[in-house]
Structure 1
Amino acid sequence: MENIVQIRARAEATVNNTRTARGLAPVTLDSALVAAADSHSRSMAQQRRAWHFGADGSSPMDRARRAGFVGEILGELVSETYESEVQAIATWMGSPAQRAVLLDPMARRIGMGVFQEPNNKLWWTLTVAN
């Protein structure tokens, strides 16, 4: 996998291009949300399931608080794929419920997490917060 900093920067740019094209405020990467999203991506790979519950039963808010986040979690998007972060975001935009999370007018911060398996399968988590 290429440099994770570049992947996150591209994800942030893609989300912001999508948001600003619709007249919405841009978001910024938040280190606590990134840590929470990364831990959840690893947890999903361990569980072999793309969903919102951690292996320890944690919720998106639980993981964010544990990572030191202060604020409100507006939503979490997850994906199990072989596609890039840009393709994952495009797929989320194709779903009305997931698109609503990405385009939430209250959103100000995001955390993009990824875990790559040896077979190159990627587990993505995008946490959106105010």
Structure 2
Amino acid sequence: MTSQCAVRRCAVSAALLSLMIPATAVPNAQADNKRLNESVFVNIYTAQKQNGCPTEPKLDGRLVEAARLHTLDVLNNPNLNGDIGSDGSTPQDRASRQGFVGKVSETVAINPALAISGIEILGQWWWDPPRRAIMQDCANTAIGVWSENSLARSVVVAVYGQPGL
């Protein structure tokens, strides 16, 4: 009996040890939201096509960077919930700082949870007439999308540009 107990204790100890090793040996990893960002872009593309837009929108790195910076600002400042940054900046200010010349608008989606889905984003943008109008505006041919997550909230920002206006 004693040898069976010892074997069980060893098995339990080994199982517990195997659970502890990954927790200490694996560094924290940040979520890769590339697929979410791409799906948001595709939804914007689809919204414009449904509106009869003749020109396909394209990703613009300057607007992606403007979206990234505002996403991080909103994520890290729980009092923010829209277009105005913690420094008082507007979407136009942020895009101009990245070198984008033209008219800019923005949509922001916030979910008070670790994750956000494309359905939740569309639910916030599609059913809100001003945001839907931004998504479907055929003049918005340059797009930037970024998303970030924390335990407290998930934030998605899309910046829409009309180059050269």
TM-score (norm 2): 0.70
1:19: Cα distance to partner? 1.5
Q: 2:56 matched to which residue of 1?
A: 26
Corresponding position: 1:66 with 2:92: no
1:54: Cα distance to partner? 1.1
Q: 2:71 matched to which residue of 1?
A: 41
1:102: Cα distance to partner? 0.6
Distance (Å, rounded) in 1 between the aligned partners of 2:125 and 2:37: 16
Report the 3-state secondary structure (helix = DSSP H, G, I; strand = E; otherwise coil) of the residue aligned with 1:83: coil
Q: 1:125 matched to which residue of 2?
A: 157
Report the 3-state secondary structure (helix = DSSP H, G, I; strand = E; otherwise coil) of the residue aligned with 1:123: strand
Deviating beyond 6 angstroms after TM superposition, the runs of 4 or more aligned structure 1 residues are none
Q: Is the 8 A contact 1:14 1:86 kept in 2?
A: no
Q: Number of aligned pairs?
A: 128
1:2: Cα distance to partner? 5.2
Distance (Å, rounded) in 2 between the aligned partners of 1:2 and 1:42: 14
Amino acid at match of 2:46: N
Q: Is the 8 A contact 1:10 1:86 kept in 2?
A: no
Evaluate the alpha carbon distance shift between residue 99 and residue 14 of structure 1 in structure 2; reply closer, same or farther with a 3 A threshold: same
Q: 1:100 matched to which residue of 2?
A: 133
TM-score (norm 1): 0.87
Amino acid at match of 1:125: V
Q: Point out which structure has higher relative CO (alpha carbons under 8 A, 6+ apart).
A: 1
1:53: Cα distance to partner? 1.2
Q: Deviations over 1:18-74 (max 9, x none)?
A: 21122113311111101101110111122212111111111111111112212221x
Report the 3-state secondary structure (helix = DSSP H, G, I; strand = E; otherwise coil) of the residue aligned with 1:115: strand
Corresponding position: 1:8 with 2:58: no
Q: Structure 2: which 5+ residue stretches go unaligned?
A: 1-29
Q: Structure 1: which 5+ residue stretches go unaligned?
A: none
Corresponding position: 1:76 with 2:102: no
RMSD of Structure 2 on Structure 1 (CA): 1.8
Quick check: which has more Rg, 1 or 2? 2
